[in-house]
A and B are shown apart, each in its own frame.
Chain A
Amino acid sequence: QVQLQESGPGLVKPSGTLSLTCAVSGGSISSSNWWSWVRQPPGKRLEWIGEIYNSGSTNYNPSLRSRVTISVDKSKNQFSLKLSSVTAADTAVYYCARVLGLLGPFDYWGQGTLVTVSS
């Protein structure tokens, strides 16, 4: 059973950089899957942020592309998210998730972590 666990600061200052890590257990990040970040602002719909393959290839949501970096650390079986120049609009629950296969839905999700942008 694959499990994902997000970690990182719950509070980030405006204009700062949000950094989160997703640890994968029960499976390998080198498997034939893409690994994604998804967020959900309070009371709003889910928003896909981007994804990474174990080779390091990435795809980002155009709405966030200029501020997002997703990276992978195969030695630690984890992947990470950095979102720069954050504002209050970036306050959300952030989830990491596994893509089923190479082009599929999200079949495994982390529990989510709330990140608040505030001074």
Chain B
Amino acid sequence: ESVLTQSPGTLSLSPGERATLSCRASQSVSSSFLAWYQQKPGQAPRLLIYGASSRATGIPDRFSGSGSGTDFTLTISRLEPEDFAVYYCQQYGSSPRTFGQGTKVEIK
């Protein structure tokens, strides 16, 4: 099973700042089958990025993903008030599909 470890656990930033979130896999993620989700309290996760760097439908271009192999990054170029949430990475290149433990982006 591929274990995903996200860092940092919490990111305290102000609106307008840049957020950089990391996801490290215990084994190489095949074909960059790595996704990022945003989750707000009481809501289901929302797909942001898939294939490590492709934005899902309707996702603003301030969200970008990069990386390959075992190291992946989600970048939010300029934080908007609605971006404060928990972010999860997920690999779907091998079974079982697994998720990271999440990074909370909170208002400083």
Identify the A interface with B (CB < 8 A).
Answer: 36, 44-48, 59, 61-63, 95, 97, 99-100, 103-107, 109-112
Give the total of B residues in contact with A, Cβ under 8 Å: 22
29 contacts between A and B (CB under 8 A): A36-B97, A44-B101, A45-B88, A45-B101, A46-B45, A46-B88, A46-B99, A59-B95, A61-B96, A62-B1, A62-B96, A63-B96, A95-B45, A97-B44, A100-B50, A104-B33, A104-B92, A105-B35, A105-B37, A105-B92, A106-B35, A106-B37, A106-B47, A106-B90, A107-B47, A107-B50, A109-B46, A110-B44, A111-B44
Chain B residues packing against A (C-beta within 8 Å): 1, 33, 35, 37, 43-47, 50, 56, 88, 90, 92, 95-102
B44 touches A47 (CB 8 A): no
Chain B nearest CB: distance from A97 CB in Å?
A: 8
* A109/B45 in contact, CB under 8 A: yes
A38 CB, nearest partner CB in chain B, Å: 8
Specify the chain B residue showing the minimal Cβ separation from A4.
B44
